[in-house]
Amino acid sequence: MADGLQIDIEAMVHPRKPTILIGNVSLHVSPGAFVSFVGPSGAGKSTLLRIVAGLEKRFDGEVKWNGERVEEPSRAIQLVFQDYRLLPWKTVEDNLQFAASHSAPQQEITQRIQLWLDETRLQKLRKNWPKNLSGGEIARVAFARAFIDPPKVLLLDEPFSGLDIARRNDLQEKLTAAALANGTTVILVSHSVDDSVFLSDTVYVAGTEPLTIVRTYHIDLPRGHRDRFDPKLQTRVKEVTQDLLRMGPPSLLDQPKAPVLISRSIVA
Amino acid sequence: MSITIRSITRALTPWLVPVLLVGAWEIACRLHWLPPSQSAAPSAIASHLLSPALLVNVIWTLIRLVAGVAIGALVGIVSGLFLAQKRVADRLFSPTLRFLAPIPIIVWFPFLIILFGLGDAMRIAFVATAAYFLVHVHCFNAVRSVNRDFLELGQIYEKRYWSRVWHVMLPSSLASIFTSVRIAIAIGWVVVALAEFGLREQGKEGIGWFIMQARGLGQVENEFAGIVLLGLTGAIADGIVRTAEKHYLKWANTAEVGA
């Protein structure tokens, strides 16, 4: 399977502890597919994205895109960081310009910037500094920046956390549309099971210590035409959520002799 | 308080202390609390402030200062940037620079005379040397402290080396660089006056020589006029750099204490 993203990680040692952070992770992502990773905090999901982006080299294994090893970061595989990482000394417009390829004609770059400023409703904020933007506006700039020079693979590290439902929905629609239009392969890491199931073709449930894939769910509904409240999607959400809860700490209320720390009447 | 009164108050507040000091100084001189051979009243100094001889000397000093700080700062930024990124060069050169940096600037005098002679080139080099070490250290530390996250962004967007320097490292280090340039200007005044004290160049003496000459001839008003003009010019130069700093750092998310 030469086309698409092939991830074969045998092991990666934790950078700060004498433990294995990422265990055996082997999967193939087809070109244009949208996959998500959900799992406990600290499992190593963000590190997995960094490995795919070519930012981490201290692991055993390899990552290949279309048959070629990913050894260095490149514009073909872009990562939208959890903190978005807008350059504080550049305006919104200049942050988008920064993402453009130096080999592309400036006229084309200007048109793309204009297009994405309109798409993300950032026109009036084009000359603003990041310090003057709200969290939602910063997220929109980060998304626009990711598509100024559409990547082959887009890695998203919890990009919707901190956004309200309306803004999340808006960005997710734009993400889905842009990914479908450009044939972009997307890997999303998210704590939101809802978002992961709604957006993805495949959801991987990641276990921790070390990170491995414990379960895989396929979503056989066409992307871009999904209803968030579709019973099939909701069933998947429930299944994935139950998997995650089983991996988490045992609930106090399930323990027969647990001290009563909270009133059951509040919980009931 | 209305906006107008508040604005007037804010504009006048920085002048309160200087006016009080000058007033106290004037009174002290008129009441002969200060020996007339060692001090002059502000009212006597004022008439000498605009003397053509004094102004010409200030201009020559200013030229040497600006040239020296500009050269020293430029070389300091380049060397700070380079050594902060290239480990081999850092191991090669930094130990020597750390040895040279704390050496008092006056010790460089004879070496610079040998290298550059007795003219303006030596004086400018003197100022440049003082400025260089200061700016180099600040720039080096600032570049070493650049947030790795932003450098990774540059890697992902396949930015070439100079593009990463221009778009990431330099802007990230700018606050430190401006601070070091302001300190370099303040030290530069001391250094350039030192360089002018002992070595006269006919017609281009400079304020340092002017002050020493006035002291030697017992011309107290001229001496103090030179000192006052030195301070005023220094404050204006610092103000210009601060204005540039505010402009180039207006993106920074910092609290301006007392603003």
Q: Tens of pLDDT along A50-63?
A: 999 999 888 889 99
| Cis peptide upstream of residue A210 (ω within 30 degrees of 0) | yes
Cα B189 to chain centroid, rounded: 6
A54/B33 Cα distance (integer angstroms): 76
| Cβ atoms within 10 Å, residue B227 | 16
A213/A26 Cα distance (integer angstroms): 9
Tokens 């610092």 found at: B238
pLDDT band at B50 (very low <50, low <70, confident <90, very high): confident
Ranges of H-type helices in chain B: 3-30, 42-46, 52-85, 87-100, 109-116, 120-144, 148-156, 161-164, 170-198, 207-216, 220-248
pLDDT band at A256 (very low <50, low <70, confident <90, very high): low
Contacts of A153 in chain B (CB under 8 A): none
Buried b (16+ CB within 10 A) or exposed e, A141-166: bbbbbbbbbbbbbbbbbbbbeebeee
Look at residue A69 and give its three-state secondary structure: strand
What was the pLDDT predicted at B1?
Answer: 56
A143/A136 Cα distance (integer angstroms): 11
Ranges of H-type helices in A4-101: 45-52, 92-99
Contacts of B168 in chain A (CB under 8 A): 87
Q: Tens of pLDDT along A18-34?
A: 777 788 889 999 999 99
DSSP state of B173: H
What was the pLDDT predicted at A31?
Answer: 93
pLDDT band at A250 (very low <50, low <70, confident <90, very high): low
Contacts of B251 in chain A (CB under 8 A): 88-90, 129-131
Contact assignment for B252 to A131 by CB distance below 8 Å: yes
What was the pLDDT predicted at A259?
Answer: 53
How distant is the Cα of A63 from the closest Cα of chain B, in angstroms? 16
How many residues appear in chain B? 259
Of B149, B155, B163, the CB nearest to A73: B155
Contacts of A79 in chain B (CB under 8 A): 156
Cβ burial of B228 (10 Å; 0-12, 13-18, 19+) is: middle
How distant is the Cα of B174 from the closest Cα of chain A, in angstroms? 10
Share of chain B above pLDDT 70, in %: 95
Q: Which residue of A has its CA nearest to B152?
A: A55
Question: Is A48 in contact with A192 (CB distance < 8 Å)?
Answer: no
pLDDT above 70 for B148? yes
Q: Which residue of A has its CA nearest to B160?
A: A102
- Residue B76 region by backbone torsions, left for phi larger than 0, else alpha for psi between -120 and 50, else beta: alpha
pLDDT averaged over every residue in chain A? 86
Q: Does A127 touch chain B (CB under 8 A)?
A: no
Q: Does A102 touch chain B (CB under 8 A)?
A: yes
Q: Does A76 touch chain B (CB under 8 A)?
A: no
Buried b (16+ CB within 10 A) or exposed e, A179-199: beeeebbbbbbbebbbbbbbb
Q: Does A134 touch chain B (CB under 8 A)?
A: no
Of B152, B160, B253, the CB nearest to A88: B253
**Cα-based distances in Å from A187 to A61, A163, B149, B154:** 19, 19, 20, 21
Contacts of B177 in chain A (CB under 8 A): none
Angle at B204 between CA B203 and CA B210, to 5 degrees: 95
What are A8's two structure tokens? Answer: 């074969």
A153/A33 Cα distance (integer angstroms): 10
pLDDT above 70 for A1? no
A146/A261 Cα distance (integer angstroms): 46
The closest of B162, B158, B165, B157 to A99, measured between CA atoms, is B157
Contacts of A99 in chain B (CB under 8 A): 157
Q: Give bridge partners of residue B114 from the DSSP assignment.
A: none
What are A54's two structure tokens? Answer: 């070519």
pLDDT above 60 for B216? yes
What are B99's two structure tokens? Answer: 């040895």
pLDDT above 60 for A268? no
Look at residue A207 and give its three-state secondary structure: strand
Contact assignment for A131 to B253 by CB distance below 8 Å: yes
Contacts of A55 in chain B (CB under 8 A): 152, 155-156
Q: Worst-scoring range by mean pLDDT, A4-13, A48-57, A175-184, B169-178?
A: A4-13
Contacts of B167 in chain A (CB under 8 A): 87, 90, 98
pLDDT averaged over every residue in chain B? 88
Contact assignment for B168 to A74 by CB distance below 8 Å: no
Q: Give bridge partners of residue A203 from the DSSP assignment.
A: A36, A217
pLDDT band at A203 (very low <50, low <70, confident <90, very high): very high
Residues of B with CB under 8 A from a CB of A: 149-150, 152-153, 155-160, 163, 167-168, 171-172, 174, 250-253
What residue segments make up the domains of chain B, in order of their start?
Answer: 1-34, 38-258
What are A112's two structure tokens? Answer: 């793309």
Q: Does A81 touch chain B (CB under 8 A)?
A: yes
How distant is the Cα of A253 from the closest Cα of chain B, in angstroms? 42
- Order of strands, sheet of A34-38, starting from the edge strand that comes earlier in the sequence: A77-80, A153-157, A185-189, A34-38, A202-207, A212-218
A24/A200 Cα distance (integer angstroms): 22
What are B8's two structure tokens? Answer: 């007037």
Q: Averaged over A129-147, what is the pLDDT?
A: 92
- Residue A180's H or E segment, with its range, is helix A165-182
Of A77, A98, A129, the CB nearest to B167: A98
> Dihedral (C-alpha) A256, A240, A156, A226: value to the nearest 10 degrees?
-140
The reply to whether CATH 1.10.3720.10 applies to domain B38-258 is yes
Question: Is A106 in contact with B164 (CB distance < 8 Å)?
Answer: no
Of B152, B168, B252, the CB nearest to A55: B152
What's the ipTM? 0.81
Of A85, A89, A98, the CB nearest to B149: A85
pLDDT above 60 for B258? no
